[in-house]
Amino acid sequence: MSRANFFAVVLLALLLGLWETGCWIFEVPVFILPPPSSILSTAVIKAPLILPHALTTGFEIVCGIGLALTVAIPLATGMFAWSWLEKALSPFLVASQAIPVFALAPLLVVWLGYGVASKILMASIIIFFPITVSLLEGFKGCDREFRVLFRLMGAGFWQTMRLLYWPWALPHFFSGLRVGVTVATIGAVIGEWVGAQRGLGYLMIQANARLKVDLVFAAILWLSVMGLLLWFGVGWLEKRSTRYKELRFQEKL
Amino acid sequence: MLSVCGLTKNFAQQLVFSGFDLEVKPNLIAVLLGPSGCGKSTFFDVLTGVVRADGGNIRWQGQEVGHLGGIAAYMHQKDLLLPWFSLVENSLLPARTAAEDLKAARSRVDTLFDRLGLGGYQDHYPHQVSGGMRQRCALVRTLMFDRDLVLLDEPLSALDSITRKSLQSLLLLLQSEFQRTLVMITHDVDEALLLADDLYLLSVCPMRIVERVRLGTDKPRRFDDPELLAMKNSIMKKLEADGDHVQG
């Protein structure tokens, strides 16, 4: 175990230990702050109750990411291919970021109902912008000399896209996606808070109203684990598709 | 033969060059040498088709062409190998974009790899091999363009002396063994003198040829050659005099 890992584990154990003993010494009621041990046991024992909700939320997140990608990738590509399109659209994109997206949640529920659709849209609206922008920046960051090389080879735009721009932009794309997947979780949960019949956000609101704080925490724990899984999933994908990258950096050192 | 006739380009009503003529004989190294900002990069952009000329024409083998995309190969001081492709994939890029038969191209690449001492490294990635091997791989790619004309964009400036020397010899190989015509654009007097057969000194604003210098064919040249040093001094004087003229 490296020094950093060791330190992280010790820090985690210390925090949890403080929390646990604090609850025990000050006799904090479980409906205010349950100790970590009871949160963990609730998360495990109540798994049959939590799992269907977690699946719903997970489905919303994954679909949200998928929807955002199906819009963001063609849009970024189009804006890169035609600079007039970029000039025409970028004011709208920037303006759309000025709208507090969470404020849209109640409207989305009104328009799309209590089902998963409003949550999927919520999640995708939030992450669509960082993905589009990072991908576009990645395309534009391609060095001039490489463009000249492909131009002289006689390669067309789409061929250059496939062989040069897209692999070039991949690291940027993934850094945008990495930010996106964690934020998508928030989007889905907020959508569920506003109005839903299933999902971890819905479960949290219900449990909170009944002062089942341990269940609220258990739902948060499940959410965090899901967020982490997504984060690592993206990291794994990134590593697989940009394996050359780390070596390129090594070379620079 | 490449000939440029009456080429004109304005940028925001500022004349970069007007009526620019140039003729490059086959199998020679023509070097355009001028100070930074003299318009040679714009000239290069017009040649490669990045920007459009306002007037004049470019002819290749007597035929008028819009730009040299699809006609010339390209080399740069950076090897420009794509890190996500292996050496052989990088070398096959020109064949891929030209939709050539990849099997035939592959066997040509293999022959060139053996010839240039890269045999056995086909499936290595650029970061796994030395800088010299990457340069040679870039040369293989240039040859795989299968074009008689090669454009060089400041190929040697800003390189350390060892890398510079190895690339210099590769470029000379390109001319002597593979019979290519090289057109090079640079602001670096040293690299111009090391490689040029025909040296064109450029003036600033608008860019035009002030003088054409023919150098001997004995190569490779050495920096410490007294003749070369004398020539360097006279060229530096001319470039400085031209700069003063502009300022005055």
The structural domain count of chain A equals: 1
For an interface test with A, the pick among B127, B144, B151 (most A C-beta atoms closer than 10 Å) comes out as: B127
Q: Tell me the pLDDT band of B245, cut-offs 50, 70 and 90.
A: low
Residue A45 lies in a domain: yes
In terms of residue numbers, what domain contains A131? 36-252
Nearest residue in chain A measured CA to CA from B97 = A155
Predicted pLDDT of residue A49: 92
Judge whether A89 is closer than 8 Å to chain B, CB to CB: no
Contact B82 A152 (CB under 8 A): no
pLDDT band at B158 (very low <50, low <70, confident <90, very high): low
Round the average pLDDT of chain B to a whole number and report it: 83
Among residues B126, B121, B99, B124, the alpha carbon closest in space to that of B110 is found at B121
User: Does any domain span residue A82?
Assistant: yes
> Cβ contact (<8 Å) for B145 and A153?
yes
Measured between beta carbons, which residues in chain B are less than 8 angstroms from residue A153? 70, 93-94, 97-98, 145
Average pLDDT over residues B38-52: 83
Q: What is the mean pLDDT of residues A198-209?
A: 92
Nearest to B193 by CA among B226, B160, B223: B223
Residue B246, pLDDT score: 47
| B80 to chain A: closest CA residue | A146
**Does residue B247 carry a pLDDT above 80?**
no
pLDDT, tens digit, for every residue of B105-146?
Answer: 999 999 989 888 888 888 899 888 888 888 889 889 988 988
Domain B1-71+149-163+180-248 belongs in CATH node 4.10.320.10: no
Which of A159, A167, A250 lies at the smallest CB-CB distance from B97? Answer: A159
**pLDDT on residue A203:** 93
Provide the residue ranges of all domains of chain B, joining segments of one domain with +.
Answer: 1-71+149-163+180-248, 79-146
Residue B224 β-bridge partners: none
Go through B67-106 and write b for each residue having 16 or more CB atoms within 10 A of its CB, e for each that does not. bbbbbbbbbbbbbbbbbbbbbbbbbbbbbbbeeeeeeebe
CATH at A55 = 1.10.3720.10
Question: Which chain B residue shows the shortest CA-CA distance from A251?
Answer: B127
| Position B78 pLDDT exceeds 90 | no
Give a yes or no: residue A12 inside a domain: no
Residue A186 has pLDDT above 80, yes or no: yes
Question: How far is Cα B109 from Cα B141, in angstroms, rounded to an integer?
Answer: 8
Average pLDDT over residues B170-184: 83
Check CB contact of A163 with chain B, cutoff 8 Å: yes
Inside any domain, residue A29: no
Report the residue from B80, B84, B125 with minimal CB separation from A146: B80
Across A7-21, A174-188, B54-68, B158-172, the highest mean pLDDT is recorded for A7-21
Which residue in chain B has the smallest CA separation from A245? B83
- DSSP one-letter code for A101: G
Rounded Cα–Cα distance for residues A47 and A56 (Å): 14
ipTM value of the model? 0.82
Please state the rounded mean pLDDT for residues A121-137. Answer: 90
Q: Which residue has the higher pLDDT, A67 or B26?
A: A67
Q: At B217, is the pLDDT very low, low, confident or very high (cuts 50, 70, 90)?
A: low
Minimal CA–CA distance to A62: which of A229, A244, A209, A203?
Answer: A229
pLDDT in tens, A18-50: 999 999 999 888 888 999 999 999 999 999 999
Q: Is residue A4 part of a domain?
A: no
B80 and A153 within 8 Å at the Cβ level: the answer is no
